[in-house]
Chains A and B, each alone.
Chain A
Amino acid sequence: MTQRIDPTRAAGVPKAEVVKELSMLKQKDMIAGNYEALTSAPQTGRKVASTFVPGNLNELIMCFDLLNNLPEINAIQNGMRKVSGELILEAEKHGHSEDVCTYVKADLGMMAKGNLSPNGKPLPRPDVLLLSYTGCFTFMKWFELVRDEYKCPTVMLHVPYQADGQVTDNMRSYIVKQLRETVIPTLEKVSGVKFDIDRLRGYLAESAKAEDDFVWVMESAKNKPSPIDAYFGGVYYIGPIFTAFRGTPDATEYYRLLRGEIEERIRLGLGPITPEGDMKEQRYRLVVEGPPNWTHFREFWKMFHDEGAVVVASTYTKVGGTYDLGFRHDPRNPLESLADYCLDCYTNRSLPQRVGQIEKYMNDYQADGLVINSIKSCNSFSAGQLMILREIEKRTGKPGAFIETDLVDPRYFSAANVKNRLESYFQMIDQKRASAHAA
């Protein structure tokens, strides 16, 4: 069953109608429900934890009956609703540099302008900031800045960087100790709820179920034609599992529905759904590295699907966990499992690991090339991407493209430049193919 609504629509912003499947409706309800729970917290008395997507300990947060507020998701919502630009300007007016991360500035600007959620109601003050310091230096400064505003309890979970491409016992035990000795006691104190490890085990078991289906969905792009777009569509698929829903029956149900829909698309030989309907011809299979631009998301996507370019694998869909590399939350080792989850989030992996991962995607998904969308705001992703590009071209012999945009600052999205580069890139792939045939 399908309805006619826009899959790229953020709450409250009407757009042109397109096909929407049951899983999309399900996710929309889940997101709206979480925002409603957050904005009604002052009335319901629920307490709120703010935390980040990478290293997001949703199962643990739920053990304390806390609601999960994710500032990156708020910034994305504001980007897609095209209000992030004014929020960033507001933060800059208050002394924040034009050079720094625009997620941070969109969040601070949002706070300065009433902290309105996508449902139009103000988000509550967080009761605790869970500073999951995973794969991004800026997270630390971000929550120090937010703490300055709210003066609420703040608990650090420092996740060491996987610089040598492996998780050591020392790293894992450091995280577990922080969970035991700092994070859990703080959450107990803030929430007034005693920690129950069996409750955590239950949530982790539920997570693992969803993770199996999630991986199946992402790997369905190995089919030709690919039934999904693993970047522009992928950002929707990661929604529940990267945010406030992992470990809930809702998330499990979402991925069950999604998997069923994609199985059907494979059976029918259909490509991904785009905002303008089913994608027909798939001329280019691409791997994409880096986050998308959110302020012009639909326009950006159109530059790909208009040309018949489908993304078969992306690294952005691994920032909240590298499930496709085998990780599953494990109820038998709950805290160690949370540690391993945090340690292997994509941006916590070393640059050589990232190169190896992309190379694997290029081969496993039979990609024609790599597109790097380099984000001005995000040094964690961006510093080193030109090295990644060189290495991938060298190792695979496939051409790469490098485009530059930003997360939520509309000033850094130059549509004509991006389109020109992509068109030239697709021509380059064509030429490579032609010369390969001629040889």
Chain B
Amino acid sequence: MAETRTTAEIVAQCQALFDDLEFTHSRRWKEAAPGRKVVGYLPVYVPAEIIHAAGMLPLGILGGGENLEVIHGDAYYQSYICRIPRSTLELGITGKFDFVDGFLFPSICDVIRNLSGIWKLLFPKVYVRYFDVPQEFTDDVGGVYYEKELQELREGLAHLGGRPITDEALRTSIALFNENRKLVREVYDLRARTPWLTPTSEVYLVMRAGMVVPVEEHSALLREYLAAVQAEPRPMRDNCRVILNGVFCEQPPLNLVKAIEMSGCYVVDDDFMLVNRWLLDDVPTSGDPIQALARAFLHRSAETAAKYQPDLAKKGQYLLDAVRDRAAEGVIFAAPSFCDPALLERPMLESRLEKVDVPHIGFKYAENSGQMQPVREQAGTFADSIKLWSSP
């Protein structure tokens, strides 16, 4: 019988995965059987099911974090461009991705889009695909386009893997990712109900582990974490409940999350790593799997700055819904410096919050921001103001 681990032990494992810029766990997965391949992807969304169905490991790439010294990467980017492309390039140039066989650069912004071209020029032997998604969401227009894009991805990965990707394999992978998304939602729901049991600095690490381990392993980890945290009482504090928004691409340092929590906030929702909950419900496991993935994207996927909202009346509604559903008392907008999507989106979201008197603050960060005291003071003042002046 397997030994039951404590929350601290589970989180320590996730922390080790998070800290490991050699991606040892993913490397070992690849080495464990001949012919295995790894496909990396950047934020904000790719259909990892197709990579998995090809027998490959989807590897979520979220930059180099706060501990990576960027030397080469800075030679490719001007000072006014965010940090994630330069630290990602640093990892590439220094050989940290030498085990990665393919890279997907999703449609999120011009910087990541152009990084796909840099990657092609720097690493001509690697499979590189810019993964475009429709901004038109009807079945007959955006849907037809997207299904063909998914088929092209499927064919590209099949070519890379040297074997076809069958419908049956896709359905099996969809079922596994459905299970993973369900568990991710359970963790998020649990955190919203009892945030003192599931601090975001932990939840973040547990979710982040899902970027580098196989989905089956991550689902097991989520189950284990869910069981462990509910078995270990933790004191409830007089914190206010906030939603963190704008953190969907370049990641803040973990210390920033801790600073927000230490300042008296429970984070009850966020947009970290949206790839693991981009599709909001189970994707059907019967019928045409490509069409099922496409329809899920078109009609039941998350909203974020990188996605067009055709209906003005619905703009930002997802955030208002989250405030209501998660019983949040305020929103903290945290955006990476020079992040056009998040920073251009922010005023629109702020205006929606103001209409319904939801307090909010905002600041910027980089993945290597070092000084957390200002964040702590700002978030602390925000939390105090909510406690003192918000309606009971």
Contact = CB atoms under 8 A, between A and B. Distances in A.
Interface of A: 94-97, 99-101, 104, 131, 133, 136-138, 140-142, 144-145, 147-148, 151, 154, 156, 158, 160-161, 163-164, 170-171, 173-174, 177-178, 181-182, 350-352, 354-355, 374, 376, 379-380, 382-387, 391, 404
Given A99-B337, A104-B344, A145-B348, A386 B111 contact: no
Given A100-B340, A181-B141, 11 more contacts: A97-B346, A99-B338, A131-B308, A137-B113, A144-B309, A148-B348, A156-B136, A164-B129, A170-B145, A174-B136, A181-B138
Interface stretch (B117-125, B222-230, B266-274, B320-328): B117-125
B77 interface: yes
A163 B129 contact: yes
- Which residue among A144, A147, A355 has the maximum number of chain B CB atoms within 10 Å of its CB? A144
A174 B77 contact: no
A160 B108 CA distance: 12
B151 to A, nearest CB: 9
Interface in B68-93: 75-78, 80-81, 85
A160 B305 CA distance: 18
B340 A137 contact: yes
Contacts of A352: 117, 120-121
B144 to A, nearest CB: 7
Contacts of B392: none
A97 B363 CA distance: 10
B114 A384 contact: yes
Given A374-B78, A382-B78, A142 B118 contact: no
B312 A384 contact: no
B117 A182 contact: no
Contacts of A97: 335, 343-344, 346, 364
- Which residue among A104, A142, A174 has the maximum number of chain B CB atoms within 10 Å of its CB? A174
A160 B129 CA distance: 13
10 contacts: A99-B337, A137-B109, A140-B308, A154-B310, A161-B130, A174-B142, A174-B145, A350-B116, A383-B85, A386-B77
B173 interface: no
A386 B75 contact: yes
Given A178-B141, A351-B117, A100 B343 contact: yes
A144 B348 contact: yes
A319 B58 CA distance: 36
Interface of B: 75-78, 80-81, 85, 107-111, 113-118, 120-122, 129-130, 132, 134-136, 138, 140-142, 144-145, 148-149, 152, 305-306, 308-310, 312, 315, 335, 337-341, 343-348, 350-351, 364
B113 A161 contact: yes
A305 B286 CA distance: 68
Contacts of A178: 136, 141
Contacts of B75: 386
Q: Sorted from nearest, which 3 A-B pairs have the closest CB atoms?
A: A351-B117, A163-B130, A141-B344
A131 B136 CA distance: 12
B104 to A, nearest CB: 11
Contacts of B117: 163, 350-352, 354, 384, 387
B315 A177 contact: no
A141 B121 contact: no
Nearest to B122: A387
Contacts of A95: 346-347, 350
B contact face: mostly helix, strand, loop, or mixed: helix
A164 B315 CA distance: 32
Nearest to A355: B121
Contact of B341 (A141, A154, A164): A141
Contacts of A164: 129-130
- Which residue among B80, B117, B312, B335 has the maximum number of chain A CB atoms within 10 Å of its CB? B117
A170 B117 CA distance: 21
B118 A177 contact: no
Contact of A351 (B107, B114, B351): B114
Given A94-B347, A141-B305, A144-B315, A384 B118 contact: yes
A165 B240 CA distance: 51
Contacts of A161: 107, 113, 130, 132
A65 to B, nearest CB: 25
Contacts of A144: 308-309, 315, 344, 348
Contact of A156 (B121, B306, B308): B308
Given A151-B312, A386-B76, A391-B121, A138 B344 contact: yes
Contacts of B76: 384, 386-387
Contacts of A171: 145
A160 B130 CA distance: 10
Nearest to B336: A99
Contact of B345 (A99, A141, A163, A384): A141
Contact of B310 (A136, A148, A156, A170): A156
A156 to B, nearest CB: 6
B135 A133 contact: yes
B340 A138 contact: yes
A383 B111 CA distance: 5
Contacts of A404: 78
- Which residue among A145, A154, A161, A376 has the maximum number of chain B CB atoms within 10 Å of its CB? A161
Contacts of A137: 108-110, 113, 306, 340-341
